[in-house]
Structure 1
Amino acid sequence: MKQISILTTVDLPMAYQIEKRSHTFPWSEHIFTTIQGKLYFNIKLHIQKEMLGFAITHIVLDEATLFNLAVDPFYQRQGCGSFLMKYLIDYLRGLKVKNLWLEVRISNLNAIRLYAKFGFNEVLIKKEYYPKNSGNEDALIMVLPLLL
């Protein structure tokens, strides 16, 4: 059965492996060591000891930013991303967070569809924000109002 629990420092090597498998331009291993602390809510999706994916969220006062959501390619298109998003949104609503922000590669249509399914709105485009094999690509900034 799929479960969600806190992503701890012990989990970071496994999360980093998922990051490398699921992103063409993954975060560095060093970045994973800097995303811990009281301003972060980091969760993992797992079945027993096998990690399927994770979400990294930064919370400041009544605003949150989803920095990273990754699902191991073996488990993609099986509802894992939705499972993580629903849990995260419910948790943030419980904290009375007003908005959940994120940015996503304009070419990442699967992620954009996932976020739209949860009610995220497109806010703006950051031109040439993300690296790609040749040049850069735009980032789409999206927001989900959490307190209705």
Structure 2
Amino acid sequence: MISIKQINERDIDLCYELDSNTISLWSKKQWVNEFKKEGTKVFGVLIKNLVIGICVFQVVLDEAQINYFVVNQKFRKKGFGSYLMRYLINKCENLNLKKLLLEVSQSNVTAERFYRRFDFSTVGIRKNYYKDGSHALLKEKNLTTKIM
């Protein structure tokens, strides 16, 4: 059974482990700090009780910034990332947010293609942003707000 649940600080080890086994983006200290940021929410996509993907986003005013989005390598290209992204978009629309923002390495062609499928458009570039010298593509998606 596939489900999505909110993840809290008690699950930092789980987040760090998934990160370490995939994109190795954050240290354990960075994970701790992420959970302390105001407006930050963490969701996981699960098969039974196994977390196979995580999305971290932060709400600021009427926008949300995706700070982290990953699906375990073994479960990619099976629709789990799309399931999690659709959940996130719906959640943001229900919060009446206007935009969803993220940045992705220009060299990460797979992720760039994934975000394009969800109508994220490139609105800027941070040159030589990543350690490997690649540029960060700044992306945004306009959201449809729900009328109350």
Q: Higher strand proportion, which one?
A: 1
Over residues 77-126 of structure 1, what are the superposed CA-to-partner deviations in whole Å (9 max), with x where a residue is unaligned? 11111111100000000000000000001011111111111111111111
Moved over 6 A (4+): none
Following superposition of structure 1 onto structure 2, how do residues 2-17 of structure 1 map, counting pairs within 5 Å? 2-17=2-17
TM score, norm. by length of structure 2 = 0.92
Q: Write the mapping of 1:100-111 to structure 2, written as runs, cut at 5 A.
A: 100-111=100-111
Number of residue-to-residue matches in the alignment:
144
Q: Is the Cα contact below 8 Å between 1:15 and 1:53 reproduced in 2?
A: no
Task: Give, as a single letter, the amino acid of the residue that structure 1 aligns with 2:11.
Answer: D
CA RMSD of aligned residues (A): 1.3
List alignment gaps of at least 5 residues for structure 2.
Answer: none
- 1:53 has 2:53 as partner: yes
- Supply the distance in 1 between the matched residues of 2:35 and 2:14 (Cα, whole angstroms): 15
CA distance in 2, matches of 1:18, 1:2: 18
1:82 corresponds in structure 2 to: 82
**What are the residue-to-residue correspondences of 1:128-143 with 2, within 5 Å?**
128-132=128-132, 136-143=133-140
List gaps (5 residues or longer) in structure 1.
none
Normalising by the residue count of structure 1, what TM-score does the alignment of the two structures yield? 0.92
Does the 8 Å CA contact 1:56/1:67 hold for their aligned counterparts? yes
Q: CA deviation at 1:28?
A: 0.9
Paired residue type of 1:43: F
